Amino acid sequence: MRSTERHRCPTEKETICGEDFQISRWRLSIGGDVQMSRAFLVRVILLAWPLVFGLVGSCGRFPGILAVEPEEVPVATVDAAPVPEPIAVPPTRTDAAPDLMMMTPMPPAPVPGPTCMPVDEACNGVDDDCDGAVDEGQSAIPCPDGGFRYCVDGRFSECPRRCDLCVPGSERVCFIPYCTYWGVQTCAADGRSFGFCREQRAPRECDVAVKNNMRSRELEQCCVDKGYCCLDEFDLDNDGDRRESIGSCDGVSCGL
């Protein structure tokens, strides 16, 4: 009579792919007068392989490669019965039976990377000189108006500006849609924005533009032509920026 028994060994903790897994090792015991051949064991292992994959086969880059260490099993008669499914092995046990599978993760095979060809380190976010450090030793580049450009996150920073948007307290001309069509806005104390556009009377030299065109491209052109620093509301320079200043903006814009 064939009597086999599968019993669950105490749960063991193993490390696979850097993580701890609770792995239960199943021991197939062959008891009584039944013995299994090596061929039978190999078939069982092959059939169990997908299950093993399911357990530990999702370890990132290394699909579940497990070393199956065949145990020495006494050679016996070849059983003509159909190969049983590993999970469906009828439970019979013998304490002396060997472990069927030892799941031991194999160390990942070393993946040969591209050979590092050392060149001078540059500010590009890459380890050019193959020393393990990225963008190290990049000197700051002096800017013509003062300040420096620094290597940051693989790029050199732009030359710093004296202020974000405008010189604190400075004024530029703006255009409003009513009454005088002309106004002035003052730069904030931190240079990061202009205040509201406050209505003023347009200068005499732009009276004609005001009367004929009101708040218009022509009025902005007059503002520029007469030497004011003006909000480029009508994009006279066709750069798509309608919030910039245009005209005589020394002392208003943030360049030196």
Partner 1 sequence: MRALTAVAATLFAILSANRVGADCDEPEIESTIPLQYESTLATVPPNATLSARYSASAVYEGEPIVLKPDGMPPLTLMGTFDAVEGLLKVLPPEGLSPGRIYRVTWPGLRGMTGPRGKNTVVDFNVSATPDASAPVFSGIAALDWDWTRKTDPCTDELLDRYTFLLTPGGATDDGGVDALAVLVFQTSGPGIAAPRLVHIAAMPRVGKTVKVPLGSMQGVGTLCFSALVRDSQMRTSNANTQPVCVATTEAPYFVGCGYGPRSPKSTALIWTGLVLVGLSRVRRRWV
**Binding stretches for partner 1 (CB under 8 A):** 123, 125, 133-136, 138, 140, 143, 145-147, 150-165, 167-170, 185-196, 243, 251, 254, 256
Closer to partner 1 by CB, 23 or 254: give it. 254
Considering the complex, what minimum distance in angstroms separates the CB of residue 17 from partner 1? 25
Considering the complex, what minimum distance in angstroms separates the CB of residue 5 from partner 1? 56
Closer to partner 1 by CB, 211 or 242: give it. 242
Considering the complex, what minimum distance in angstroms separates the CB of residue 255 from partner 1? 9
Considering the complex, what minimum distance in angstroms separates the CB of residue 196 from partner 1? 5
Considering the complex, what minimum distance in angstroms separates the CB of residue 217 from partner 1? 23
Closer to partner 1 by CB, 209 or 230: give it. 230
Report DSSP letters for the chain, one per residue. Answer: -EEEEEEEPPPEEEEETTEEEEEPPEEEEEEET----HHHHHHHHHHHHHHHHHHHTTSTTS---EE--PPP----PPP-SPPPPSTT------TTPPPS---EEPPPPP-PPPPP------SSSS-TTSSS-SSTT-PPEEPTTSSEE-EETTEEPPPP-SSSSS-TT-EEEE--SSTTSEEEEEB-TTSS-B-PPEEEPPPGGGHHHHHHHSSSHHHHHHHHHTT-EEE-TT-TT-SS-SSSEEES-TTTSS--
Closer to partner 1 by CB, 80 or 189: give it. 189
Closer to partner 1 by CB, 4 or 170: give it. 170
